[in-house]
Amino acid sequence: MEPRLCYSNAARYARDHRSEGLVYAEGFALPGGVDFPLAHAWCVRADGTVLDPTWADTPGRAYIGVAFRDPQRWPYDGGGILQDPDRSYSLLKDGLPEDSLLPAGRPL
C-alpha cells in the first residue's frame, strides 16, 4: 500500500479483511534496523499476529499499541486516532467503552 500513509492503509486493510478477524491497531512500532520507535498503525488478529500493510516484512520489528475493535473509531481520512488531539481528546477525557478494545498480543 501507499508508503507513509499507515493510518489510512491499516484502517482500509482492516475494513477489507474484517471477516478474517482483523482489527485496526495504533501506537508505536520499531522497524527493523531503526533504533527508535515511530508512531504507526497496523492490523492485528485476536492472537496478536500483526499484519502491516504499510511496511515491508523485515525481521526485528516490534509493536506496542491499542487495538480498536470498533470500526466507527477507525480513521477514514488519513489521520491517526492517538496522534490527533481532536480524536484523542474524548478518549482521554471519557475513555473507551470496555468492548471497544481488543485484548491482543501479550501484556508487557
pLDDT digits (tens, 9 = 90+) for 17-47: 999 999 999 999 998 778 899 999 999 998 8
Q: How many domains does the chain have?
A: 1
Q: Are 28 and 40 in contact (CB under 8 A)?
A: yes
Whether 92 maps to a domain, the answer reads yes
> The sheet that has 62-68: what strands, in order across it?
50-51, 38-44, 23-30, 62-68
Q: How many CB atoms lie within 10 A of CB 74?
A: 21
Q: H helices then E strands: how many in the chain?
A: 2, 4
What range does the domain containing 75 cover?
A: 6-100
Whether 1 maps to a domain, the answer reads no
Higher pLDDT, 107 or 6: 6
Q: Are 21 and 49 in contact (CB under 8 A)?
A: no
Higher pLDDT, 106 or 56: 56
Whether 81 maps to a domain, the answer reads yes
